[in-house]
Amino acid sequence: MFKDYDWLLFDLDNTLLDFSQTSKRAFQELSEIFDFHKPDSYNTYHQINAKYWHYFEKHKINAHDLRYGRFKEFLETLGSKADYTAVAEKYLHLLIDYSEWIPGAEDILKELSQTHRLAIITNGLKEAQHGRLEKHSMKQYFEHIFISEELGVSKPHQDFFQQVHQTIEEPDKHKVLVIGDNPKSDILGGEKFNYHTCWFNYHQEKKHRNIKANFKLASWSGSKSDLIE
């Protein structure tokens, strides 16, 4: 699958690191620290967070607004008196503390870094992304780390991929493979830029089964992988 590519561009969250479980565990501790235990509080935050990321990707807000605004609105919705800046800062630190590899991901990076050129392409806040990369000693595997907050633009915008392409010295686009879990930001974004794509369907979502991608994977463990070429 990887042999025909020179560059492998990996998404981070739910591709190499398990963000879904990390965020739930971080939020649970956050709710205990700041005492906002209410039914469905995580779902409430999740909906508000998704809205703010949508605004950020559409360039309607900046990273500062994303970092703090989502928690300001969330706490106001709950009627909590907690300091939203303190909550926001603690949450980023907890994301790092609770971060975990997806099974098999570290082994695949060790293997592929010996035969290919690798880079990270991730939408996220730089503090959390760099912190988790450093916690797991991941930077040794990658020649470049591309984070949306630092680039000033998010996937799937073509300017994100253009900045990446220029930095990796403009190789043949068909020699570049984007690997990620998000059907829109990773797969559609990469496809529009004429990169090849691999959808890492970590949660095995059936609703996106018909998504267009050159490859599809369900796991980094060979016995569980679902590869479609």
**pLDDT (tens digit, 9 = 90+) per residue, 52-91?**
999 988 889 999 999 999 999 999 999 999 999 999 999 9
Question: What's the pLDDT at 36?
Answer: 85
For the chain, the structural domain boundaries read 7-18+101-217, 20-97
7: enclosing H helix or E strand = strand 7-10
- Whether the per-residue pLDDT at 226 is higher than 50: the answer is no
Backbone angles phi, psi at 17, to 5 degrees: -115, 145
Give me the pLDDT at residue 222, please. 59
Over residues 136-149, mean pLDDT: 97
pLDDT for 88-120, tens place per residue? 999 999 999 999 999 999 999 999 999 999 999
Across 36-40, 91-95, 141-145, 210-214, least confident range: 36-40
Amino acid at 46: H
Topology (CATH) of 20-97: DNA polymerase; domain 1 (1.10.150)
Cα–Cα distance for residue pair 211/207, rounded to 1 Å: 9
With 70 as the cut, is the pLDDT of residue 229 above it?
no
The average pLDDT across 130-144 equals 98
- For the cut 50, the answer to whether the pLDDT of residue 173 exceeds it is yes
Residues comprising the chain, all counted: 229
| Range 7-18+101-217: architecture per CATH | 3-Layer(aba) Sandwich (3.40)
Spatial neighbors of 94 by CB under 8 A, at least 6 apart, are 25, 26, 29, 30
Q: What is the share, in percent, of the chain residues with pLDDT greater than 70?
A: 95
User: Which residues sit opposite 179 in a β-bridge?
Assistant: 10, 198
Average pLDDT, the chain: 92
CB 101 within 8 A of CB 18: yes
What is the percent of the chain with per-residue pLDDT over 90, rounded to a whole number? 86
Indicate if the pLDDT at residue 177 is higher than 50. yes
Q: Which amino acid is at 25?
A: R
Q: What is the pLDDT of residue 145?
A: 98
pTM: 0.92
Per-residue model confidence (pLDDT) at position 208: 61
